Chain A
Amino acid sequence: ETGVTQSPTHLIKTRGQQVTLRCSSQSGHNTVSWYQQALGQGPQFIFQYYREEENGRGNFPPRFSGLQFPNYSSELNVNALELDDSALYLCASSDGNQPQHFGDGTRLSIL
């Protein structure tokens, strides 16, 4: 069974740029959630996708957007990057109400 995989593992961008992060869900999981984890803090919920539709959103501005594809993989897009967007971005997949399983994350640094 393949777990949740995320790419890239590390990324460096400058302010104002755009970034796309990718996530492949665990086999059999139809729901993908994205979280932002700033240094020294717990993960903060960004949004969730279920069967290609957004299924809940946290307190993040519209420049954070996402997609889910028919194979349940997902992308997180962030436009107009700001210094405070520097964080570990975590993807988690689940099957319905079952617990979420996390990938190892993408560490995004904004210069």
Chain B
Amino acid sequence: GEDVEQSLFLSVREGDSSVINCTYTDSSSTYLYWYKQEPGAGLQLLTYIFSNMDMKQDQRLTVLLNKKDKHLSLRIADTQTGDSAIYFCAERVSSASKIIFGSGTRLSIRP
């Protein structure tokens, strides 16, 4: 089946690293994505990783993929107040044109 799961909430102190975790079920996933959604807005593509990669780094963002365990994580270094948002993990399966989204993780930043 197709399912993407994420924890609902994460709270971190400003300046610390945030790690958002995600698990997925479809082993035929080709691409895995992280999107950010701020209040009242659409989804902003943050980064993505192809399924044959283990890691991708883009400035403050690091994506780790464990394909054996079907586990994806997003690390945000030096978390800032502007990083407060809902973060969605998503997968694209090879047999379909659709993207399957998790329910989102709400990241809040403490001073």
Contact = CB atoms under 8 A, between A and B. Distances in A.
Interface in B19-75: 30-31, 33, 35, 40-45, 48
Nearest to B40: A104
B104 A33 contact: no
Given A102-B44, A104-B42, A105-B42, A45 B99 contact: yes
A42 B101 contact: yes
Contacts of A58: 98
A102 B97 contact: no
Contacts of B41: 104-105
Given A55-B97, A56-B97, A41 B103 contact: yes
Given A41-B103, A42-B88, A42-B104, A102 B98 contact: no
Judged by DSSP, the binding face of B is strand
Interface string A28-60: 000101010000111111001010000110100
Interface residues on B, range: 20 to 34
A48 B45 contact: no
Interface in A59-111: 90, 92, 97, 99-105
Given A48-B97, A55-B97, A99-B33, A42 B103 contact: yes
B107 to A, nearest CB: 15
A42 B97 CA distance: 17
Contact of A99 (B45, B88, B96, B98): B45
Contacts of B104: 41-42
Nearest to A88: B42
Pick the most buried of B30, B48, B90, B99: most chain A CB atoms within 10 A of its CB: B99
Interface of A: 4, 6, 31, 33, 35, 40-45, 48, 50, 55-56, 58, 90, 92, 97, 99-105
Given A45-B100, A99-B31, A102-B45, 16 more contacts: A6-B42, A35-B101, A42-B101, A42-B103, A43-B43, A48-B98, A50-B97, A55-B97, A56-B96, A56-B97, A58-B98, A92-B43, A97-B31, A99-B45, A104-B42, A105-B41
